[in-house]
Amino acid sequence: MKALVKTGPGEGLALQDRPVPQIGPSDVLIRVRKTGICGTDVHIWNWDAWAARTVPAPMIIGHEFAGEIVELGRDVTGLTLGQRCSGEGHLIGHTSRQSRSGQFHLDPETRGIGVNVPGAFAEYLALPAFNVVPLPDGVSDRIGAILDPLGNAVHTALSFPLIGEDVLVTGAGPIGIMAAAVARHVGARHVVITDVNQTRLDLAARVADVVPVNVASEDLPSVCARLGMRQGFDVGLEMSGNAAAFDQMVGAMVMGGRIAMLGIPAAPTLVDWNRIVFKSLVIKGIYGREIFETWYKMLAMLENGLDVSAVITHDLPMAEFEQGFRTMKAGQSGKIVLDWDQV
């Protein structure tokens, strides 16, 4: 099979022929149809310090996918050949307190496909049946390929009640844009999304009914005044990993406001804890998706009118993967989806 492989240190990926993976009794074999390029994949492409200490190269990477089940392990039940699916890319252990209590997303033994173990940038993927998420007829393979990042957005956005609340999203990357769309879908009043990349802010406005703000030219107090907000934002969704953006968010929150943090800073940062304490802010760190509650909720919302399809700005044949990564690195795109039927 064709696969995209991180062969070792240095920039880029290699298109190679690799054996079709063998499945165990509790696994399924998936014929991959579509994959999404993630920011994590760009880190691996660049081979930055995080990738160098995390990824056991050589290895097939990629973790955002949709496809079709073509083989079932002998112990697998509840799934069928030909079934369309995506899947949870976090492989969990089953012995920790968290797993045994059903908090699978908090399992400390978690490994990621395409990061710690072979991934989905290939014609075929072996995956535990436990991790398979069947796709409803109304959810295309194209959208199925971005359910992983949409799940991050849903997990973050639904961390706190949003009905009637004013929400600030810092970071207009694809996940930030989708989180803003989710917030509007579930009933937030004003949803403001900030960035310094005007291209991405323009994309946010096309995806959802949100207020895009370029903080290089407009400050948040003036935005609040324009929207008739008297105190500030009730809920913050920090998606950027940028210290200045987080500082702006803290300053713009109401007393007793709540912040969900998905963005990962590139380095340790200074935080003004005095403002956080004296504002009585609640801060919650977000990792991945709640397995599988987040999946149920996002599929239900997609079937009930949530439309994030415009966040996909490029559809490319798999053979043009290098162009896809160059476009991602330039910061002038939303999600990029590769078609594995065009190898």
Per residue in 135-191, pLDDT (tens digit) is 999 999 999 999 999 999 999 999 999 999 999 999 999 999 999 999 999 999 999
- pLDDT, average across residues 39-52: 95
| Dihedral sign (CA 314, 54, 65, 191) | negative
CATH of the domain at 70: 3.90.180.10
Residues 110 and 19 both lie in one domain: yes
Domain count, the chain: 2
Residues 141 and 183 both lie in one domain: no
The answer to whether residue 63 scores a pLDDT higher than 90 is yes
- Give the active site residue among 7, 35, 40, 80: 40
pTM: 0.95
Residues 9 and 141 both lie in one domain: yes
Instruction: Supply the pLDDT for residue 342.
Output: 87
C-alpha distances (whole Å) from 34 to each of 64, 86, 93 are: 8, 10, 27
- pLDDT, average across residues 52-73: 97
- pLDDT, average across residues 271-280: 96
Instruction: Supply the pLDDT for residue 85.
Output: 98
Would 252 be classed as within a structural domain? yes
What percent of the chain shows pLDDT beyond 90? 97
Tens of pLDDT, residue by residue over 311-325, are 999 999 999 999 999
43: annotated active-site residue? yes
Closest CA to 339 of 312, 310, 315, 313: 315
φ, ψ of residue 213 to 5 degrees: the values are -130, 120
Q: 72 is in which domain, residue-wise?
A: 2-146+308-339
Tell me if the bond preceding 292 is cis, omega within 30° of 0. Answer: yes
Would 114 be classed as within a structural domain? yes
- pLDDT, average across residues 97-104: 96
Tens of pLDDT, residue by residue over 126-145, are 999 999 999 999 999 999 99
| Dihedral sign (CA 8, 9, 10, 12) | positive
Q: Are 235 and 257 in contact (CB under 8 A)?
A: yes
Residues 140 and 167 both lie in one domain: no
Instruction: Supply the pLDDT for residue 189.
Output: 98
313: annotated active-site residue? no
Structure tokens given for 264: 């990962």
- pLDDT, average across residues 214-218: 96
- Give the active site residue among 43, 54, 199, 313: 43
Would 24 be classed as within a structural domain? yes
Residues 240 and 262 both lie in one domain: yes
Would 293 be classed as within a structural domain? no
Residues 107 and 76 both lie in one domain: yes
Instruction: Supply the pLDDT for residue 125.
Output: 98
Would 170 be classed as within a structural domain? yes
Residues 137 and 91 both lie in one domain: yes
Residues 119 and 57 both lie in one domain: yes
Would 261 be classed as within a structural domain? yes
Instruction: Supply the pLDDT for residue 332.
Output: 87
CA distance 141 to 148: 13
Would 99 be classed as within a structural domain? yes
- pLDDT, average across residues 209-235: 96
Instruction: Supply the pLDDT for residue 88.
Output: 98
Instruction: Supply the pLDDT for residue 303.
Output: 97
φ, ψ of residue 51 to 5 degrees: the values are -65, -40
- pLDDT, average across residues 13-38: 98
Give every CB contact of residue 331 below 8 A, 6+ residues apart in sequence: 197, 199, 200
Give every CB contact of residue 293 below 8 A, 6+ residues apart in sequence: none
CATH of the domain at 166: 3.40.50.720
Give the CA count within 13 Å in the CB-facing half-sphere of 130. Answer: 11
Cβ neighbour number for residue 173 with a 10 Å cutoff: 23
Annotate 227-262 with three-state secondary structure.
Answer: HCCCCCEEEEEECCCCHHHHHHHHHHEEEEEEEEEC
Instruction: Supply the pLDDT for residue 217.
Output: 96
Residues 140 and 188 both lie in one domain: no
What is the average pLDDT value for the chain, to the nearest integer?
97
Residues 260 and 173 both lie in one domain: yes
φ, ψ of residue 235 to 5 degrees: the values are -130, 135
Would 275 be classed as within a structural domain? yes
Instruction: Supply the pLDDT for residue 266.
Output: 82
Residues 62 and 38 both lie in one domain: yes
Residues 31 and 123 both lie in one domain: yes
Instruction: Supply the pLDDT for residue 343.
Output: 80
